[in-house]
Structure 1
């Protein structure tokens, strides 16, 4: 029986093998069990996080979600695709997105842990893909700047870090603030952005809502 402090992880790789032989390590202090999935995706009910590495997220991600049904397990997608549509489709579906080659195993561990507490991680290139979509629409860019002007410089720093998947503790360490101070700032940010939580706030901060129809 696995320790309740260690996660059960499913690795779904429909288009090839898992590329990181050293992750997760057998003695990983966060991951206690790894299940490898292939098509058809049958996700065990006791899995905490699913990592989907695929060529085409537009096909594989909905397929995985359909197979999971009401299971409600957080999903992290890894793909070489870095276009706005691919990233947004996954993000809107509740999944995190890492662009192949745009992360290290340390960041992958951070993304897995963040997923278990409701944070949705985007690797830097995935964030760039969303921002590029916003830049393609000048009116949306103006609206985004107006939205961002509602926040103080410190709040903007916090949102830049939150949008890369960092949690309150990690943001505090990066900015020299206490975790409590960061959480208080996040509460103010959510109110100013009229956001329901961290994922909704990041969508608004990146201007994702304005590029959904691109």
Structure 2
């Protein structure tokens, strides 16, 4: 996605109405248009980001046809198994009641440039799930050793679910500087994006979308 182009967002809500009728605002600086999908949920080739609002994320993700468009799940479920399964599909995850529309906008913008966002509760569940996964010997420590102290700070914050803007505020860096650091981190870790990088940082075997 070109950063200068506004986004087309597809909404897939299998069980009911979209919970944020006022999002996005008419003057939203990032979202050009929103398309409501009907079952079976298939996102068009011009879709930049899909928001999947559902009760059963694993089943909905298996049925969704979104080509290469990144997906953000919104669900009331906060169990570790469900969130790890969404992560395996490369999807971001926002737990209902655990985020605001500002966080949703940040997640959409981040997804458009290859970042994967999690609300705080989802991130905590993900970290617990990754902690239980088998680590690849001392490979995680070797990978961490490739990063500078600043890059390690950024990865620690990224793994808690913060986006580039929030990381910049924490570390008193510009968002552009954080994104430049993230690009360097992905190259050093041989990670294809934030999802893969976080898994490697937390010490789990890489989980790639099949």
TM-score, structure 1 as length reference: 0.78
Specify the SS of the correspondent of 2:205.
Answer: helix
Distance in 2 (CA, whole Å) between partners of 1:188 and 1:54 is 35
Where in structure 2 are the equivalents of 1:94-133 lying within 5 Å?
A: 94-133=90-129
Distance in 2 (CA, whole Å) between partners of 1:100 and 1:43 is 23
Deviation string for 1:28-79 (max 9, x for gaps)? 22222111123111323322211000000110011013xx3xx311111111
Where in structure 2 are the equivalents of 1:159-178 lying within 5 Å?
A: 159-163=155-159, 164-167=161-164, 170-178=166-174
Deviation string for 1:102-128 (max 9, x for gaps)? 110000000101111111111111111
Distance in 2 (CA, whole Å) between partners of 1:210 and 1:120 is 15
Kindly indicate whether the alpha-carbon contact (under 8 Å) linking 2:75 and 2:96 is maintained by their aligned counterparts in 1: yes
Q: CA deviation at 1:171?
A: 2.7
Deviation string for 1:150-203 (max 9, x for gaps)? 356533321133232513x55334311245653564355446645344321112
Distance in 2 (CA, whole Å) between partners of 1:63 and 1:136 is 27
Q: Which runs of 5+ in 1 are unaligned?
A: none
Greater share of helix: 1
Q: Which runs of 5+ in 2 are unaligned?
A: none
Larger Rg: 1
Work out which of the residue numbers 77, 83, 95 in structure 2 matches 1:81: 77
Distance in 1 (CA, whole Å) between partners of 2:75 and 2:138 is 30
> Structure 1's 125 and 8: CA in aligned 2 closer, same or farther, altered over 3 A?
same
Report which stretch shifted further, 111-120 or 29-38.
29-38
Specify the SS of the correspondent of 2:97.
Answer: coil
Distance in 1 (CA, whole Å) between partners of 2:92 and 2:196 is 13
Distance in 2 (CA, whole Å) between partners of 1:141 and 1:129 is 21
Distance in 2 (CA, whole Å) between partners of 1:8 and 1:190 is 26
Question: How large is the RMSD of aligned CA atoms in angstroms?
Answer: 3.0
> Structure 1's 140 and 211: CA in aligned 2 closer, same or farther, altered over 3 A?
farther
> Structure 1's 210 and 11: CA in aligned 2 closer, same or farther, altered over 3 A?
closer
> Structure 1's 210 and 140: CA in aligned 2 closer, same or farther, altered over 3 A?
farther
Where in structure 2 are the equivalents of 1:26-65 lying within 5 Å?
A: 26-65=26-65
Distance in 1 (CA, whole Å) between partners of 2:107 and 2:16 is 21
